[in-house]
Amino acid sequence: MGIRGELYTNQVNLDNRSYYFNVKENRNGDVFLQLVESKIKDGEDSRRDIVIFADDLQKFFGGMDDALKFIEKTQKERAKLKAEKKAAKEEKFGASGKKDNAEKGTKKIYRRKGESRLVAEKRAAKEGNKPTGRLHVVSKRSAESTEY
Q: Is the pLDDT of residue 52 over 90?
A: yes
The stretch 23-45 carries a mean pLDDT of 91
The stretch 13-38 carries a mean pLDDT of 92
Q: What is the pLDDT of residue 134?
A: 57
Q: What is the pLDDT of residue 146?
A: 54
* Chain centroid offset of residue 62 CA: 29
Do the beta carbons of residue 38 and residue 47 sit within 8 Å?
yes
From residue 136, give the alpha-carbon distance in Å to each of 37, 54, 63, 113.
57, 72, 61, 7
Lowest mean pLDDT among 2-16, 17-31, 87-101: 87-101
Average pLDDT of every residue of the chain: 80
Q: What is the pLDDT of residue 92?
A: 83
Q: Is the pLDDT of residue 148 over 60?
A: no
Q: What is the pLDDT of residue 91?
A: 85
Query: Which pTM does this prediction carry?
Result: 0.51
